Chain A
Amino acid sequence: MSKTYADLLREGRALVPELLPDQAAARAAEGALLLDVREPHEWDAGHVPGAVHVPLGRLEAYIGFAAPDTARPVMVYCATGVRSLAGARTLQLLGYQDVASVAGGLELWRAQGLPVEAPARLTPAQQQRYSRHLLIPEVGIRGQARLLESKVLFIGAGGLGSSGLLYLAAAGVGTIGIVDFDVVDASNLQRQVVHNLERLGQPKIASAAAAIGALNPDVRVIGHEAMLTDDNVDELIAGYDVIIDGTDTFETRYTLNDAAVRARIPVVHASVFRFEGQLTTFVPFEGPCYRCLYPTPPPPELAPGCSVAGVLGVVPGTMGLLQATEALKLLLGIGETYVGRLVIYDALDGTFQELSLRRDPACPACGTDAEARMATTATNGAQLAARARSAQVSA
């Protein structure tokens, strides 16, 4: 006589012990493995943090990779606790010694208020576009989703900004802000590869937005056609996760530094001169700031800019890419950044020299006194950030 579905369930329950979700969670905390046997689309919609996923139909073939130790206890779950019985029974037959099925499945798990992790979702087009990132464990789907939610502000869409703008857009940084008041000039095209002949005379923010739009429609570009000044800097930088400093005057660099320290936003700093570039990362209160490094600016005659001294076009490209790399590391929270280290790239020698930088306890921007003063004004900063976010205009 053939068996009914109800018969099969009854038999499964007789052979496989069942645990309530909170009991399974307790066993998992003691080292048991949580095994999700649902279909991939169900897993993608949400699953137990730390669980391992092997769909029921592939259990025999793949469980050996996911759980090589048959002595380790395994708690099997599905949506409602039915498929997990079958999965647990299969594991028993494969020699797993301590197997249980989670009664009520993820439905009851949620109802008991236990944690469920909804993994990041990417569209099929995004999965294809970012496939090389998804293959790297340090990025993966979670890191890519984080990049898509991230906001990076470029101060300057010139030589340093060009390569970084293109690569961060390609990497899928979801919001890219650009502060620049210049227009594209023929003399820019020797190095500013984000612009082109067709856009000569256009504002650089519009030209850069066009290049980014043609490269990656996932990216929202926010243009600020303005010169960074003490009056507008707090509003311009509010809400960004990382700032890329590609400015070319000392005044702007100090203005940016002081505001970024106040807003506690990391600044990836670079500058170039002929065949050389310098780069470091300032993370407020974790390492030195620009004022710790250079407390005062030099007189103009001792610090000519690129328009006077010239620059080999590839050098700002190289330094801009190093800035973009730093930004990605900061956004993803991976690797060792250049906080507290300054690197000098000499293109002619083909060398990178590294110097150690320190926080200056007497720094007027980030020193001991400034830090104490800032702790009391933190609330004001948060209000300002909220106001600036609502005032941003899309370019």
Chain B
Amino acid sequence: MSTVRIPPVLRAQTGDLKAVEVDGATVGAVLQALVERFPGLREQLLGPDGDLHRFVNVYINDQDVRYLDALATPVAPSDTITVLPAMAGGA
């Protein structure tokens, strides 16, 4: 199981969970498992084609998956996946 870090703007969809343990051999599989468990996240992360929205970045450990193999990037159980949508708040 790898760990997915949920950003504060999306925690309403995960029952306020900050981190979720999810199974999956690739980033795409992990995100698919994540949205199946928390259906409210689907629209916020993925477009109708199943691709990541352009305003959401996904990192495996500290690397942007866009510069790896995108959703096909392999995931090991020890990896941490960070979901990072753009934030605008200047308070």
| A interface residues, Cβ below 8 angstroms from B | 156, 158-161, 191-192, 245-250, 253, 270-276, 278, 293-298, 302-306, 309, 311, 315-316, 342, 344, 349, 353-358
Docked-complex contact B90 and A302, CB < 8 angstroms: no
Interface size on B, residues (CB 8 A): 25
| CB neighbours of A309 from chain B (8 A) | 8-9, 89
Docked-complex contact A275 and B87, CB < 8 angstroms: no
| B interface residues, Cβ below 8 angstroms from A | 5, 7-9, 18, 44, 53-57, 59, 62-64, 67, 82, 84-91
Report Cα–Cα, A271/B7, bound state, in Å.
13
Docked-complex contact B64 and A296, CB < 8 angstroms: no
| CB neighbours of B7 from chain A (8 A) | 273, 276
Docked-complex contact B86 and A250, CB < 8 angstroms: yes
Which secondary structure characterizes the binding site on chain A? mixed
Docked-complex contact A354 and B91, CB < 8 angstroms: no
CB distance from B37 to the nearest CB of A (A): 19
| CB neighbours of A355 from chain B (8 A) | 59, 62-64, 82, 84
**Given known A-B contacts A356-B63, A358-B67, A305 and B57 have beta carbons under 8 A apart:** no
Docked-complex contact B87 and A278, CB < 8 angstroms: yes
Docked-complex contact A354 and B62, CB < 8 angstroms: yes
Across the interface, name the chain B residue whose C-beta is closest to A275: B8
Q: Could you list 5 further interchain pairs (A-B, Cβ under 8 angstroms) beyond the known A160-B91, A296-B55, A356-B64?
A: A250-B86, A295-B55, A298-B85, A309-B89, A355-B84
| CB neighbours of B88 from chain A (8 A) | 247-250, 253, 271, 297, 303, 305
Jot down 6 A-B pairs with beta carbons below 8 A, ordered by A: A273-B7, A273-B89, A303-B87, A309-B9, A311-B89, A355-B84
| CB neighbours of A246 from chain B (8 A) | 90
Docked-complex contact A294 and B57, CB < 8 angstroms: yes
**Given known A-B contacts A303-B87, A306-B90, A293 and B57 have beta carbons under 8 A apart:** yes
From B54, B55, B56, B59, name the one whose CB has the most chain A CB atoms within 10 angstroms: B55
CB distance from B54 to the nearest CB of A (A): 4
Partner of B90, one of A158, A296, A353, A358: A158
CB distance from B32 to the nearest CB of A (A): 19
Report Cα–Cα, A288/B57, bound state, in Å.
14
CB distance from A289 to the nearest CB of B (A): 13
Across the interface, name the chain A residue whose C-beta is closest to B91: A159
**Given known A-B contacts A354-B62, A355-B59, A272 and B89 have beta carbons under 8 A apart:** yes
Report Cα–Cα, A279/B52, bound state, in Å.
23
| CB neighbours of B44 from chain A (8 A) | 302
Docked-complex contact A156 and B90, CB < 8 angstroms: yes
| CB neighbours of A297 from chain B (8 A) | 55, 86, 88
Report Cα–Cα, A276/B62, bound state, in Å.
18
Docked-complex contact A160 and B90, CB < 8 angstroms: yes
| CB neighbours of A342 from chain B (8 A) | 84
Partner of A358, one of B5, B8, B64, B89: B64
Docked-complex contact B90 and A248, CB < 8 angstroms: yes
